[in-house]
Structure 1
C-alpha cells in the first residue's frame, strides 16, 4: 500500500491531478462555511445548538451539502440539484426519442445531453434555494429557535439570498466537472464524499459525549463490519463468459479471444437509496411551507416500510434504465461476440435478462439491509457517522477513485516500458 502511494506521488502528471483535486476540495469546504448575504452567523450558530436536527429536510439535503444547508452558506444547495438533473436526463432518454437519438450519437450527443442537464440543474437549484430561503425566513427551518436566522425578510434580501445560493450550486457543478476533467475520479462524487467524510469526527465525538466510550467502541466495531460487508458486495459480480469469433481483416486475423461481461450484484449502485430518500423528504419540505405537519412522520413504521419498498422499486427501475440486455446483446453480435452455449441475438438478450433478474433481488435486499436498520435503531433524529447511505457513498467513491489511480499508474508504467 505504501509503495503504491509512493509510486503515485512520484509520477508528475498524477501528482498534479491529485493536488488540483485537493485544491478544489478546499475551495468547496471554504464556500460551505461562508454564510449567504442576509444571514446572521451568530444567530444561526445559536439555532444549530438549540434545535433538533432530525427533521426531514436535514436528513438527506444537509448530508449532500456537507452541513452547508443548515449553515445557510453560499453552497447551501450543494450538488443534489446536479445529481437529480443528471438522473432525470438519463430517464428521459427512454421516454423522449430525441434524447434517445442523442445518446446513440456518441460524444457529441452526450455533450448535448450534459448541457440539458446543466440547464435543468439551474432550474432545480432555483427551486431548492427558494424553498430553503422561505423556510429560513419563516422560522420553519429552525423551528423552536429563539432568534431569527434571517433578521431582514424583505423581498430584496430574500432575492439576493436565492441568487447567491443558485450561483453557489452552479459553482459546485463547475468545480465537480473540472475535477472530472483535470483531476482524479468523478468530481461530483468526490465532493459528496468529502461532504460526508468531514462530519465523521464530529459525529463520533457526539456519540462518545452522549452515550459513552463503550457505545462509541460498539459503533466503530459495527462500522468496520458494515464497511467490510459493503466492500465485499460492491466488488461482487457475476461474470458472464464471452467468446469472440476469428475474422480476417486484410491479411491479419483478429478475434478468437475470451473475456467476460461483468454484472455487479448491486448493479444500481446507491441511486435507489437516494431516490427513495429524496421522494420521502419532499413532504417534510413542503409541509412547513403550507403550515401543516408531514403526512408520514419519519419515526413511524409506515415511513420505514414505504422507504424499504421504494428502495426495492427504484432498484428495479434503475437497473432497467442503466443496463439494457437487448442493447448489450446487439453490441456483442455486432463485434462478433457470443456467450458460449447461447445463440447470438434474441437468445443472448433473454439470457442476459435472466441473469440480471437473478441478481436484482439480492442487490435490492442488500440496499434495504444497509439503509433501513440504522433508521429503525436510532431514528431520523440521530446523526450516525456510519449510517447506511453514508457508507454506501463513501465506499463506492473510494473504490472507484482507487481504481482510476491504479489505471493511470498502470498506463504510465506501460508507457515507460515502451520507451
Structure 2
C-alpha cells in the first residue's frame, strides 16, 4: 500500500504528467456530459429504458457510452471515424496513391489524416440518416416540429457531434495521455459496466442462482481478463545484431537489439470484421420472411448456437492472418534492417531474412488467432448459461480486448514518464514488461484499434 501511495505522489510531482492527466480527465468529462444532451425535438421521456440494449444496436450503444439509446448529440460516437480509418488503411494497400502517401513521412500522414476526416464526414452523414429513420419513432419526436426540419437538423447535429468527439480524441492525444480515440471508446464501455454489474447482481440475488453463482461469475471474469492480458502482452523477440560503425570520434552499432513481433498483431480488428459479416444472417429473415423458419438460417441468426460460433471463430482466425499480413511487411523489415547494417544471427540478409521473419509471424499468429477466437465467443456461451446479455459482453469480445489494450497502453505512458525522470515504475519489479517495446528500425508497431 505504501508503494502505491509513493507512486501516486511521484506522478503528481511531475508537472507535465500531472497536466496531461488533468487535461485527459477534463476532455473525457466533456464527452460524458455530451452523451446526455438529447437531440433537439426528441421527447426524452418517450425513450424506452430497453432501447438499444440487444444485438448490433446494443454493441454500438456500448461503444457510444449509452449515447445511442439516449438519442444524444454524440449518439454515433467515434465509430464512423474508426470505419473511415479502416477504409483509408485498406486503400493504402490497394491504391498506389495512398501507398505513396504512407511512405512520405509526416507530410504523407497529414494528408492521410485529412482524407480520413473527409471520409468520416460522409460516413457519419449516412449513418445519421439511418439512425434518425430507424431508431427514432414518430411518437418520440415533438409534434411541434416539422418532420423534414427535424430530420435535416438531426443529421447535421449528429455529424457535428461525431466530428467534435473526433476533435476531443485528437486533443487528448496531443495534450493528454495515450490514444484519445481509444480512451473515449474505453470510457464509453466502462460507463456501462456499473449498470451491467448491478443488473446481474440483482438477478442472481433475486433467486436465479444465488450469491455463490454471482461470485463464480466474477472469478471467471477475472480469469478471462488475465488470459486477454497474456494475449495482448505476448511478443516473440527476434534478436538483431548491428555492425559497428565509426562516425567521427564516435562508435555506433555493435549492440544486440530485437524486433518485438506480437502474438496478436492484428489487435481487435479481426473480431470487428468477422462480427460485421455475422450480422448478415440476422437480417436475412427480415429481408426474406419466407426463409425465416429454415433451420440453418435460424441457427446462424442465433448468436448462442454452435454453428454461429463455429463460423464466427473460423472467420476471426482467417481475418487475423489477413490483417496481420497487411499490417506487417517482412520484406520492408528485412530491407530496413539491411540498410541500417543489421542482421539476424545465423540468417543471411535480404530475402532469407524476410522468409525467416515471415515464418515466425505465421507460427505465432496461429495460437494468437485461436485464443482471440476463443475470447470472442465467450460472451455467447456466457449468455447461453444464464448470464444477462448486458453483463456477458464483458466476458470477452471486442469490448474486453479494447479495455485491456487501452488500460495497458495508458499505464505504459504513465510509466514512461516516471522512468524518464528516474522514479520507480508502476510495478514492483520496475516496469510493465511484454507490452509494446521500443522496436528497432526494422520493426513496426500496428495501431491498437
The TM-score normalised by the length of structure 1 is 0.90
Distance 2:284 2:189 in 1: 25
3-state SS of 1:260 partner: strand
Distance 2:165 2:302 in 1: 30
Q: Structure 2 vs 1, CA of residues 4 and 201 (structure 1 numbering), >3 Å: closer, same or farther?
A: same
- Aligned residue among 323, 336, 340 for 1:318: 323
Distance 2:71 2:399 in 1: 22
Comparing 345-354 with 197-206, which one deviates more in the overlay? 197-206
Q: Structure 2 vs 1, CA of residues 285 and 194 (structure 1 numbering), >3 Å: closer, same or farther?
A: farther
Q: Tell me how far 1:217 sits from its aligned partner.
A: 1.2
**Count of paired positions:** 401
Please name the residue that 2:338 is paired with.
Answer: 333
CA RMSD of aligned residues (A): 2.3
Please name the residue that 1:48 is paired with.
Answer: 49
Asked if the contact 2:224–2:395 (Cα under 8 Å) also holds between the matched residues in 1, the reply is no
Comparing 328-337 with 310-319, which one deviates more in the overlay? 310-319
Q: Tell me how far 1:73 sits from its aligned partner.
A: 0.5
3-state SS of 2:389 partner: coil
Q: What do the CA deviations read for 1:237-276 (whole angstroms, capped 9, x no partner)?
A: 1110000001222343211010111111111111111222
Please name the residue that 2:224 is paired with.
Answer: 226
Q: What do the CA deviations read for 1:121-174 (whole angstroms, capped 9, x no partner)?
A: 1111111111111102457xxxxxxxx333457121111111111111001100
Please name the residue that 1:57 is paired with.
Answer: 57
Please name the residue that 2:438 is paired with.
Answer: none
Please name the residue that 2:140 is paired with.
Answer: 149
- Aligned residue among 17, 20, 24 for 1:21: 24
Q: Which runs of 5+ in 2 are unaligned?
A: 206-210, 424-449
Asked if the contact 1:136–1:149 (Cα under 8 Å) also holds between the matched residues in 2, the reply is no
Comparing 216-225 with 183-192, which one deviates more in the overlay? 216-225
- Aligned residue among 291, 297, 301 for 2:301: 297
Please name the residue that 1:401 is paired with.
Answer: 410
Q: Which runs of 5+ in 1 are unaligned?
A: 140-147, 415-419
Asked if the contact 1:52–1:381 (Cα under 8 Å) also holds between the matched residues in 2, the reply is no
Task: Please state if 1:198 is matched with 2:191.
Answer: yes
3-state SS of 1:362 partner: helix
Distance 1:30 1:340 in 2: 55
Instruction: State how 1:115-264 maps to structure 2 within 5 Å.
Output: 115-138=114-137, 148-152=139-143, 154-212=147-205, 213-264=211-262
Please name the residue that 1:113 is paired with.
Answer: 112
Task: Please state if 1:392 is matched with 2:401.
Answer: yes
Distance 2:199 2:15 in 1: 41
Task: Please state if 1:373 is matched with 2:378.
Answer: yes
- Aligned residue among 337, 341, 362 for 1:357: 362
Q: Structure 2 vs 1, CA of residues 285 and 195 (structure 1 numbering), >3 Å: closer, same or farther?
A: farther
Please name the residue that 2:419 is paired with.
Answer: 410
Q: Tell me how far 1:225 sits from its aligned partner.
A: 1.0
